[in-house]
A and B are shown apart, each in its own frame.
Chain A
């Protein structure tokens, strides 16, 4: 699933402070991004933090504040990565994902989504991932880590914050229920180990060291988990979020 051109040695897991040596320039990278968030203040903040194309390599080509606007802007500008707020007026981030499904599936120039949210509710987070987002980070993420995450998503990798890793481990927790589809409904021991280390705040490079595997392999494990998360029809996974809902 991963079509990364090269393993990015300096990249770290998002939210892990200091995961990446501060890189003075963009390092020749460039990515076109659209910001979708209903809080103008937040968009302005992100723009100020990562939009210095000369330094970060990130070029913000459009902004949107609700679902309809988002679909219009994304279709018009065809960015490589969309930073998508989970909670949006007009149906939420999931609705944007649903209406941009064709753009995501495009093999030539796919539009990839990175979910961004202040929400801690597991069902929201798992919801956008199942809707097709390539990762999830919280809005407290530092600018540097956010830039990293954007490039990871651009390369086709998955971005798991520690919190998301925790949710996924929870969702795939060992149950007595027999799996419907052996390949999709279970995490392998290795995948579990990788997720655990992400949840413990390890950057990919550190995980690779810890498990004596390459960063590339770590990335492919994470992508495999993402695929399972999106494709598994496991009863637990779909009902899991509902069960956690507050009444």
Chain B
């Protein structure tokens, strides 16, 4: 059995609604949902259903009724999360991600067990041979209906959880299988009633009716589904926007509180304001395709430069203005260049920060990646750096040269220091 019985989730919100559980279910999630609702171990509920099933199949009917009428929800037993309508987690970047659902081997075992129990049950019940003959078609129909219903559940789940495209074929297969089973079962019943001769005619008539209904209701249905999906899209968008806004407002309020607390510490206030401003800009003007987490390693030059500048700015409290032209993916060489650039930013912030903002410019043109870091501090003489100060010599010049690039340090007309780093990209990937 897959899940151990756990304590009922204490859900204080009245009135409690009964939902079928969409995770950890075997068939329709009825038992789990009920168990969660009643606060009973799920195994009891399942056993009760099996027991009722023995009583002339009453359990099956009951189960089917529940399945049909009770809406699918999230929760049930063993769920530590309160039942929410969204089975996704919100990533920090405001995009909702699918929570991976582990395939449950227990479910398969349980289904097999159920089949065996049904076999035993069928074997043990003394039915008249006539009734027995109807059993197989009936089972076929039931299986088909179950398949299709389960499919409908999945369709409903897909509303909250984006299901990948590759599962679409499986979905269709399932639905088709269900329909096929039902058709086979019904036809078999017809055949056994001795109306095999009429079967063709009946099927034709049925087909005609189906076609007629499709023609009449089809357009309405299509339009309805289109409207629905459109509305759904709008709702998801609105929700995402709201999430973003909430996040932003929250962090702005937070920053304002901190600023009030540190009102007499000008540097801290400036640092906080800059960090918040940057954060907000990232939210507002995020270039396309950067829905990345803070934690992710940057994988393009522009991202790396921005990231480094942001970190140095936060750490040293000196504003860094960044201008970037073009972009390319990072490779080993440009990675080294980014580290050298970071070192240059740190130096600029440390020794040239009094002169105002540090200006960083990065440009990707063809195969050349160029970065300049410029401050307006007092400037310094490279030759006068003591030999034991390895910062500039090693981590900037040395690093660039080892990787086949060049680094130039110079005093700029008008004061300050500028570090220019130039590197050829390893491979032309574009």
Contacts and interface: CB of A to CB of B under 8 A. Distances in A.
A205 B414 contact: yes
A15 interface: yes
A214 B168 CA distance: 67
Interface string A1-20: 00000000000000111110
Given A203-B414, A206-B413, A170 B325 contact: yes
A224 B401 CA distance: 38
A210 B372 CA distance: 15
Interface in B360-376: 361, 363, 365-366, 372, 374, 376
B135 interface: no
A119 B277 CA distance: 11
B10 interface: no
Interface stretch (B15-23, B159-167, B279-287, B388-396): B279-287
Contacts of A19: 414
A94 B372 CA distance: 33
Interface in B273-320: 281, 284-288
Given A120-B285, A200-B372, A173 B325 contact: yes
Interface in A192-247: 196, 199-203, 205-206, 209-210, 244-247
A126 to B, nearest CB: 13
A15 B320 CA distance: 12
A17 B323 CA distance: 15
B419 to A, nearest CB: 11
Interface stretch (B80-88, B110-118, B351-359): B351-359
A23 B6 CA distance: 77
A210 B418 CA distance: 13
A17 B355 CA distance: 7
Given A200-B372, A246-B286, A18 B363 contact: no
B326 interface: yes
A178 B242 CA distance: 44
Contact of A201 (B285, B286, B374): B374
Given A18-B415, A173-B326, A205-B414, A200 B287 contact: no
Contacts of B363: 169, 196
A121 B285 contact: yes
A16 B286 CA distance: 25
A163 interface: yes
Contacts, number: 73
A127 interface: no
Contacts of B355: 17-18
A90 B173 CA distance: 54
Contact of A199 (B286, B325, B356, B365): B325
B191 interface: no
A200 to B, nearest CB: 4
Nearest to B414: A206
A135 interface: no
A162 B415 CA distance: 18
A247 B415 CA distance: 43
B321 interface: yes
B324 interface: yes
Contact of B326 (A16, A119, A170): A170
A156 interface: no
Contacts of A201: 321, 357, 359, 361, 374
A211 B284 CA distance: 37
B412 interface: yes
A70 B374 CA distance: 39
B323 A162 contact: yes
A173 B355 CA distance: 32
A162 B359 contact: yes
Contacts of B326: 170, 173
Looking at A18, A119, A206, A244, which has the most chain B CB atoms within 10 Å of its CB? Answer: A18
B318 to A, nearest CB: 11
Contacts of A170: 325-326
A56 B326 CA distance: 39
A244 B287 contact: yes
Given A166-B325, A170-B326, A200 B286 contact: no
Can you list the 5 inter-chain pairs with the closest CB atoms, starting with the nearest? Answer: A17-B356, A201-B359, A166-B323, A200-B361, A209-B413
Interface of A: 15-19, 119-121, 162-163, 165-166, 169-170, 173-174, 196, 199-203, 205-206, 209-210, 244-247
28 contacts: A15-B321, A17-B357, A18-B415, A119-B285, A120-B281, A120-B284, A162-B321, A162-B361, A163-B323, A166-B361, A169-B363, A170-B326, A173-B365, A174-B365, A174-B366, A196-B361, A200-B361, A200-B374, A200-B418, A201-B359, A201-B361, A201-B374, A202-B414, A203-B414, A206-B412, A206-B413, A209-B413, A246-B288
Given A173-B326, A199-B323, A201-B321, 17 more contacts: A16-B376, A17-B355, A119-B285, A120-B284, A121-B285, A162-B323, A162-B361, A173-B325, A200-B323, A201-B359, A206-B413, A206-B414, A209-B413, A244-B287, A244-B288, A246-B286, A247-B288
